[in-house]
Copies of this chain bind each other. A is one copy, B any other.
Amino acid sequence: MSGSDIEVLIEKFARLPGLGPRSARRAVLELIKNKNSLLWPLIQALENTANNTKICTRCGNFDLIDPCNICNDPKRDNTLLCIVEGVADLWALERSGCFKGLYHITGGLLSAIDGIRPEDLNLENLSLKINELNISEVIMALSATLEGQTTAHYLAKFLDDTSVKVSGLARGIPVGGELDFLDDGTLTTALKSRRPL
C-alpha cells in the first residue's frame, strides 16, 4: 500500500490521544504533500521540544526552565496553591486567566481500581512547599469524578496538620448549560448548592 517508513509514521501518529488510524493517515498525507511548509518545520518543533522541555521540580509543569515561569514569577500570589491532576489542567486554568497563584501537580488521582495509592502521587514536597511558600489557602481543582473527589478528601486530611485553609471548585450548572441537557447528578448538586440571588 505505501512505503514502510510511511506506515511506521502512520502507526506512531495513530497512537497519539485523539487520533485514530484514519486521522493519522490524513495527517501524514498532508505532511508528505507539504514537506517544506509542514513536515520539516514539524520535525524542527518536535526536536526543540524534546531537547528543551524540562519538568519543573517545584510544581511539575512542563517548561523550558526549571523552576518554571509560573513558579519563578514574583507577581504570582504565593499565598494561593492550586492542586491539579496534570499539566493539561494547569494549562486550562492558565488559559482562563482566572487564577494568579501557584500550582502543584499530583501526577494522577487515587484509584482503588487502577491501584494508584498515595505514594504513587507527587506529594513528597507538598507539605514542605506549603510551609516554605507562606501558602494560606490550598484549592483542590480536581475532576468531579469518584477518583478526583477521593483524592481531594485524602489531600484535605493530609493537610490537616498544617494551618492552611482547604477549598474545592464550586459545583453546579456550567456556563451556557441548558437544564434540559444536564445530567441528574449536576442538576441535583446545583439545586442542593443553590445560592441567594
Contacts and interface: CB of A to CB of B under 8 A. Distances in A.
Interface residues of A, number: 53
Nearest to A93: B1
B95 A9 contact: no
Interface stretch (A17-25, A124-132, A153-161): A17-25
Given A46-B9, A91-B1, A53 B32 contact: yes
Contacts of A88: 25-26, 29
A53 B7 CA distance: 11
Give the interface centre of A3, A31, A33, A95 by most chain B CB atoms within 10 Å: A3
Interface string A27-54: 1111111010011111101111110110
A165 interface: no
Given A26-B18, A53-B32, A3 B63 contact: yes
A41 to B, nearest CB: 6
Contact of A12 (B6, B18, B42, B62): B42
Contact of A5 (B22, B25, B64): B64
A156 to B, nearest CB: 27
A16 interface: yes
Contacts of A12: 38, 41-42, 45
Nearest to A64: B3
Contacts of A121: none
Nearest to A51: B5
Interface of A: 1-6, 8-9, 12-13, 15-19, 22-23, 25-33, 35, 38-43, 45-50, 52-53, 61-65, 69, 86-88, 91, 94-95
20 contacts: A1-B94, A2-B63, A2-B91, A3-B52, A3-B64, A5-B48, A9-B45, A9-B49, A12-B41, A16-B27, A16-B38, A18-B22, A19-B27, A26-B88, A32-B49, A32-B62, A39-B49, A42-B46, A43-B43, A43-B50
